[in-house]
């Protein structure tokens, strides 16, 4: 069967090479295209000169690159800075204005979707829907671990979608919610930093147990700290920390135990259940080996759900393994993205 | 996250003003993966050879403007520190540094937003003191650099 799932690369994936000046923006687009992607995702605040202003020169260059490399813009990644004033947080109206600013930049540069962080308050999204409709940009709330679809958190947004009937707001899952194992590069880093094999085993076993039993999902709460606190408690963090302490764990062991709660395993059926409202996807990856397997995320199993659901959007590689390596190793994001694109191609086409 | 690259290693120099050495400076990058609005940047934890230099002794040079105090920087609400750009951190120290190698410990504080956290309102009233970890974003530890003073 011919599946119409398209592949994109978030240029965030090349952050190491970009930071070190080994790749510029055009270089990132070129590498993404060489890896087989036809879509380009951008963090404007990372790579667009003169952010938040789009100059005519940049716009021309941007579309010129899209033509030259046979790519199209997919997703614009936005942030919502709430603390730019030193005497108060932004008002709702100011937050909506900031969101509208990003929607307009996204529209001007040809992006069809805009990523908003999982912490974006409902009222800010509601207030931005008219602008999104006018620019024909779909605001997508990122379903980033430890958040998940089919959860109390997602239900709140789903009610809003159904209540307003909007076609300009939906979800974009991040594959960090499909970790069946803790990324091996995180484990290796913990060991480098002095974690003990005994404690690492305790943490890994506890993670496997959560995968086996199923994670308790996170609730909707504009106070993310509170929601997160309840989430980790419900998933056994206090018990795990106690076990590490009993085993004589050091700071590196404790850090590894805490970090393990950043990864989640959700049933890929969640994708099928919500497909109507999924407009983009962050195909997060940490380490893709030479056999084209993402070592913590079972790509074939996850992509099978997208195929079954009839998804026609983009899967956008978002490589994030660099920060788990760069304390000790040279990072090769270009190769990691290439492998991940190939792994996705196989999973889509096989 | 980019801990190793926070300071450009060949950038440590004494600062001369009005014929006198008034301090030292070095070049810094953003330790996160994106740029920031300048008002979100509330200074550094800096120690040099064991001596600490609080934010009140620091000035920041960016966007082709003369060095500004962080009191001034916090008002630069719509001015952006682009991700690619290097800034210079100036430290007031009468007489500056002696020739040779120096050990600098540094932590950058940028109050970038990732979520709505219980401490958001608290940070408005009491911004975090650089070096305590809060606001350090992707670089949780104080980073150490061994730098040679440039002539």
Give the residue-averaged pLDDT of A140-152: 94
Q: What is the pLDDT of residue A334?
A: 98
pLDDT band at B151 (very low <50, low <70, confident <90, very high): confident
Computed over every residue of chain A, the mean pLDDT equals 96
Give backbone dihedrals phi and psi of B14, rounded to 5 degrees, phi first: -80, 155
Domain locations along chain A: 6-181+264-349, 184-262
Residue in A46, A49, A81 closest to B40 by CB: A81
Q: Is the pLDDT of residue A222 over 80?
A: no
Nearest Cα residue to B32 out of A12, A228, A42 = A12
Beta-bridged to residue A77, according to DSSP, are: A115
What is the model's pLDDT at position A1?
62
Q: What is the mean pLDDT of residues A24-36?
A: 98
For helices A122-135 and A92-108, what crossing angle results, to 10°?
A: 30
CB contact under 8 A, B118 and A83: no
Residues 6+ apart with CB under 8 A from B127: A86, B42, B111, B135
pLDDT of A32 reads 98
Whole-number Å distance between alpha carbons of A299 and A294:
7
Does domain A6-181+264-349 fall under CATH 3.40.640.10? My reply is: no
ipTM: 0.90
pLDDT (average), residues A288-302: 98
DSSP state of A288: B
Determine contact, residues A82/B113, Cβ cutoff 8 Å: yes
**Which residues of A fall within a CB distance of 8 Å from B82?**
49-51
B22: contact with A, CB 8 A cutoff: no
Question: Inter-chain contact A81–B123, Cβ cutoff 8 Å?
Answer: no
Q: Give residue-wise pLDDT tens across range B93-131.
A: 999 999 999 999 999 999 887 766 667 777 888 888 888
The 3-state DSSP class for residue B64 equals: coil
Q: What is the 3-state secondary structure (H, E, C) of A135-171?
A: HCCEEEEEECCCCCCCCHHHHHHHHHHHHHCCCCEEE
Residue B140: pLDDT above 90? Answer: no
- Which of B136 and A157 is assigned the larger pLDDT? A157
What is the token pair recorded at A291?
């056999």
Q: Do A19 and B35 touch (CB under 8 A)?
A: no
Q: What is the predicted pLDDT for the residue at A273?
A: 97
Count helices and strands in chain B by DSSP H and E runs: 2, 11
Question: How is residue B124 written in tokens?
Answer: 């408005």
pLDDT tens, position by position, A234-293? 999 999 999 999 999 999 999 999 999 999 999 999 999 999 999 999 999 999 999 999
In angstroms, the Cα distances linking A237 to A260, B119, B140 are: 9, 22, 21
* SS3 (DSSP) at A5: coil
Query: In whole angstroms, what is the distance from residue B65 CA to residue B116 CA?
Result: 33
């Amino acid at each position: 069967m011919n599946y119409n799932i398209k592949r994109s690369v978030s240029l965030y994936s090349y952050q190491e090479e970009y930071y070190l000046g080994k790749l510029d923006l055009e270089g990132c687009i070129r590498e993404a295209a060489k890896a087989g992607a036809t879509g380009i995702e951008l963090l404007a605040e990372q790579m667009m000169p003169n952010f938040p202003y789009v100059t005519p020169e940049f716009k021309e260059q941007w579309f010129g690159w899209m033509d030259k490399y046979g790519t199209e813009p997919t997703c614009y990644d936005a942030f919502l800075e709430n603390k730019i004033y030193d005497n108060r947080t932004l008002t709702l109206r100011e937050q909506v204005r900031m969101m509208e600013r990003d929607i307009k930049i996204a529209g001007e540069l040809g992006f069809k979707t805009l990523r908003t962080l999982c912490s974006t308050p409902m009222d800010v999204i509601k207030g931005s829907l008219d602008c999104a409709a006018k620019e024909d940009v779909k605001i997508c709330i990122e379903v980033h671990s430890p958040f998940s679809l089919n959860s109390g958190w997602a239900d709140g947004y789903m009610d809003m979608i159904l209540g307003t009937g909007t076609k300009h707001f939906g979800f974009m899952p991040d594959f960090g919610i499909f970790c069946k194992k803790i990324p091996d590069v995180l484990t290796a880093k913990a060991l480098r930093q002095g974690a003990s094999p005994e404690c690492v085993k305790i943490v890994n076993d506890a993670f496997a147990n959560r995968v086996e039993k199923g994670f308790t999902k996170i609730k909707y709460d504009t106070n993310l700290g509170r929601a997160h606190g309840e989430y980790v408690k419900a998933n056994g963090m206090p018990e795990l920390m106690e076990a590490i302490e009993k085993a004589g764990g050091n700071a590196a062991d404790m850090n590894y135990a805490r970090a393990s709660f950043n990864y989640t395993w959700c049933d890929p059926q969640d994708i099928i259940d919500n497909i109507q409202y999924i407009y983009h996807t962050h195909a997060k990856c940490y380490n893709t080996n030479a056999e084209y397997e993402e070592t913590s995320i079972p790509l074939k199993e996850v992509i099978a759900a997208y195929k079954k659901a009839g998804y026609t959007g983009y899967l956008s590689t978002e490589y994030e393994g660099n920060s788990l390596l760069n304390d000790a190793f040279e990072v090769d994001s270009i190769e990691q993205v290439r492998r991940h694109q190939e792994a996705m191609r196989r999973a889509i086409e096989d | 996250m980019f801990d190793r690259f926070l300071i450009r290693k060949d950038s440590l120099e004494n600062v001369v003003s009005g014929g006198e050495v008034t301090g030292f400076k070095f070049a810094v990058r953003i330790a996160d993966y994106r740029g920031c609005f300048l008002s979100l940047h509330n200074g550094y934890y800096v120690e040099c050879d064991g001596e600490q230099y609080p934010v009140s002794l620091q000035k920041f040079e960016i966007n082709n403007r003369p060095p500004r105090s962080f009191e001034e920087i916090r008002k630069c609400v719509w001015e952006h520190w682009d991700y690619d750009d290097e800034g210079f951190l100036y430290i007031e120290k009468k007489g500056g540094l002696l020739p040779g190698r120096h050990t600098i410990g540094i932590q950058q504080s940028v109050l970038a937003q990732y979520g709505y956290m219980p401490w958001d309102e608290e940070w408005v009233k009491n911004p975090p003191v650089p070096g305590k970890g809060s606001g350090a974003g992707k670089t949780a530890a104080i980073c150490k650099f061994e730098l040679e003073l440039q002539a």
